[in-house]
Amino acid sequence: MSNFTDFQFKPFIMDAIQKLGFKEPTPIQKEMIPLILQGKSAIGQAHTGTGKTHAFLLPIVQRIDVENTEVQAVITSPTRELATQIFEHLKQLIEGTEISAKLLIGGTDKQRTIEKLKNQPQIVVGTPGRIHDLVKENVLLVHKASILVVDEADLAFDMGFIEEIDGFAARMPEDLEMYVFSATIPVKLQPFLKKYMESPVHIQMNDRKPVAEGIEFFLVPIRSKSRTTRLLEVCEAINPFLCVIFCNTRKTAEEVADFLAENGIRTGQIHGDLTPRERKKMMKQIRDLEYQYIVATDLAARGIDIQGVSHVINYEIPEDLEFFIHRVGRTARAGLQGTAITLYGPDDENDLARIEKMGIPFQQKDVKNGEWIELKERHARKKRVKQENELDQLAKALVRKPKKVKPGYKKAMKMQIEKIKKRERRKRNR
């Protein structure tokens, strides 16, 4: 399928696709849309920014029977922000039609939601906890819904939501079609998948080029300075449209945001401890461009889609290195350019080596007086040390201890070793 017309979507869907400016399906859309149209359970494994959301929304909207007023499809996502984003995309597709949809997320008035569910929606989008609660109370009736989408399944697992999803999936039809979308498929997720999916098609998008395309990767050593001082120097060297600074914990994120504020940089914050009201307010302020810098935990790398990010700074390397890809994937979206800057210390060397094996092409940089300067490749010293060790071993193998030793033999052997090493260095540098 090389064009959206090949899917034979209904006219209103084609109109919506045209309005959205989609030219041709992305690789994950080409693979998943036909499977969902045919009703074949599948796992779609692809990274951030690959068009996953429309890979399931378009065929689901196509399959909705307007005459049937019962719940026909349930779409669950692990965070309120992600669920809200999916719902906003869905509204664009069904605008002006008779298809009904409801957003069911925590942090909203539950009683008001129950009132609205007197008329069941044909498509449900929501967070696992809220959907599970409403199903358990027999307010949301999913027993005839034949489609279940589990979006960001690995994140849902990490956040402990699989039990809730299992709770309402068990009430859905035996011949349930399940579509699981995830960047990774952890081993611990397999029992859940096997319970509901018999021989699913597994679509895996291995190509990571979209993540690295258009991104420059700068590696900045902390050296003798504090991490916060180094961060401030980096912030003074860039003039971002919008920069997200990633920290590993909420506590660190708060400390970094306070430090930057003390130094005259107004900074927004996104982390798991914000109340729903605070998060909603923060996201509005970010959309209104009230902040040039946002300090965030990894919730923002996967759970929130922030538009217009020109720079990403890894204040710390994530403990789970897979999140490095998710973090840097926040920039250079929709064909734009971006810069990903990583601060590092001596203890980070092993992690950096593993990230480089993931295909990340780092450039070694430093900041002096607000200007970027090139540094020698960070492996150069290691290579020199290794080379010297090799020369030592070679020379020592060639210089043997004499059978009859005379005074000063150790000094003579040492001179011979140095002579051989010198000769070998000359050879290698020719």
- Report yes or no on 403 lying in a domain: no
One digit per residue, the tens of pLDDT, for the chain of length 430 reads: 568 999 999 999 999 999 999 989 999 999 999 999 999 999 999 876 678 999 999 999 999 999 999 999 999 999 888 899 899 999 999 999 999 999 999 888 889 999 989 999 999 999 999 999 999 999 999 999 999 999 999 888 878 899 999 999 999 999 999 999 988 888 888 899 999 998 899 998 865 444 557 899 999 999 889 999 999 999 999 999 999 999 999 999 999 999 999 999 999 998 877 777 888 888 889 888 899 999 999 876 666 778 889 999 999 999 888 788 888 988 887 678 899 999 999 999 989 988 988 889 999 999 988 899 999 877 654 544 445 566 667 666 777 677 676 777 777 777 887 888 777 766 665 4
Same domain as 238, residue 162 = no
Same domain as 224, residue 188 = no
- Report yes or no on 392 lying in a domain: no
Rg over alpha carbons for the chain, rounded to the nearest Å, is 28
Same domain as 166, residue 26 = yes
Same domain as 195, residue 88 = yes
Last residue of a domain, one of 204, 233, 262: 204
Same domain as 191, residue 69 = yes
Burial class (CB in 10 A: 0-12, 13-18, 19+), 421: middle
- Report yes or no on 249 lying in a domain: yes
Residues 6 or more apart in contact with residue 309 via CB below 8 angstroms: 241, 242, 243, 244, 330, 331, 333, 338
Give the CATH number for residue 53.
3.40.50.300
Same domain as 193, residue 66 = yes
- Report yes or no on 396 lying in a domain: no
- What residue numbers bound the domain in which 311 lies? 209-374
Same domain as 173, residue 33 = yes
Count the domains in the chain.
2
- Report yes or no on 123 lying in a domain: yes
- Report yes or no on 280 lying in a domain: yes
Same domain as 275, residue 140 = no
Alpha-carbon gap, residue 35 to 60, rounded angstroms: 11
Same domain as 214, residue 173 = no
| Cα 163-165-171 angle, rounded to 5 deg | 110
* The token pair that represents 37 in the structure block: 């149209």
Last residue of a domain, one of 152, 176, 204: 204
Last residue of a domain, one of 160, 176, 204: 204
Same domain as 282, residue 157 = no
- Report yes or no on 134 lying in a domain: yes
Same domain as 195, residue 213 = no
- Report yes or no on 299 lying in a domain: yes
Q: Residue 271 carries which DSSP code?
A: -
Which residue matches tokens 């996967």? 302
pLDDT value at residue 212? 56
Whole-prediction pTM: 0.67
Same domain as 118, residue 257 = no
